[in-house]
Structure 1
């Protein structure tokens, strides 16, 4: 294999160390970061994610509170819960765990979270900030993938980038983030003809579609960076959207699955929680400062 395998765990740990230091500074100022997790219905479905988030929160110096609600709760009741959390200065971030019951639309809950506490980066105003190149709290997976690419010895200005997948939470934000860095971006989706024509012309390829083995080595430009964001279960093991072995023979850098983008995503969530705490502290101080 010729590709350099990107160690997502080590990268995430470096980010967590920075986040912990900032969390300590905020705590000393009386603003200890606190993240609240909201689960509805089948708690077991999200248990692994919640446990992983709690572990990372401890490393980042972020208090982590889990709140579980019965499947019978209504959308209006949940919106009321979120309104209470929005108004509570002790709560600095809110994360909505998936899956949700069919009668609870996730977008309605994401819109109900105050933008200053939107650590998932999914409120419409958070997405809008990306479009205007004014990133504050961005979608964690998209930000994580772009941060990994930025760590490589590649000049982002003028870089040819291919994004395979155009979801609202990963593909589209990545495209806007990379354009904000000066890259030339092509976005491929299920109606794109000859995806390989676009991917072979790219210096960096992001793939996030949920199809194991979609990208093969012959679809890559030699020496290109491949950021595999997919996570799929095949024969009891986790695999990405890229055929790792064939891609590693062609790419210059590649993220493994697991151990690539995943750990960096959770560390980004914790960084967002601490960043949100700083933003709220500044907001409260500016709003309630005594007049001179």
Structure 2
């Protein structure tokens, strides 16, 4: 018993740095923000308990609903678009091309740079009035505009940025493709199946676990997007609220208007939405995700 107790103490000593980080930097702030969501707090004075007032004001706030619409549009277009291009490029790279390592690196680089201020600034310049997009359109005789400053197009420039950063999903799709037994394609070819039939009946079903993983990860990332919207709109969410993402409004409420209680309430709504959507996806997976052992 003394030996077991000694080993247990040793194990907890090794775990101590992680435990301090978890309770001090993760669990502690989460509990604090939950409490603050029921208070009026301006960072300067003591929190004042207001109950559900922050949540009531939130659901009556037109800016809140605008941020929900913008974020929802970004998710519904950006996530499927990114997964489509990631799978498309992964299929091309799975052909055993010469110099395949170089191609993988080139396609993966945007994901490594994704979310950085530098890339957001670059994107703002590319789609600005004097950017290369307008230079290309000028060659075609089309009059350009500042796409990031136009309320009808600003959001789509950020969606294009998100789709462009498909490298991480592509690498995971490529790993999934490598795990599909070649015998399945050989047997189907003998039965007369064409490339499209093989893709529909073999590739997609065998990739559904990978699709599930990428879908959950990219959905969570998309709902938390912040840096590109902040840089492109210079923190305003403009033009006309077209890039007022949920996290950007949360930031404004907390650190521009010092409504930290309201911001905490928004943060917990986001947590609940993420948890609910993730749970629904996993619940639905038993109907469309197939595993190699025949389970679902």
- How high is the TM-score relative to the length of structure 1? 0.23
Question: Which structure shows the bigger proportion of residues in helix conformation?
Answer: 2
Question: Which structure shows the bigger proportion of residues in strand conformation?
Answer: 1
**Which of structures 1 and 2 has the larger relative contact order (alpha carbons within 8 angstroms, sep 6+)?**
2
- How high is the TM-score relative to the length of structure 2? 0.23
Larger radius of gyration: 2
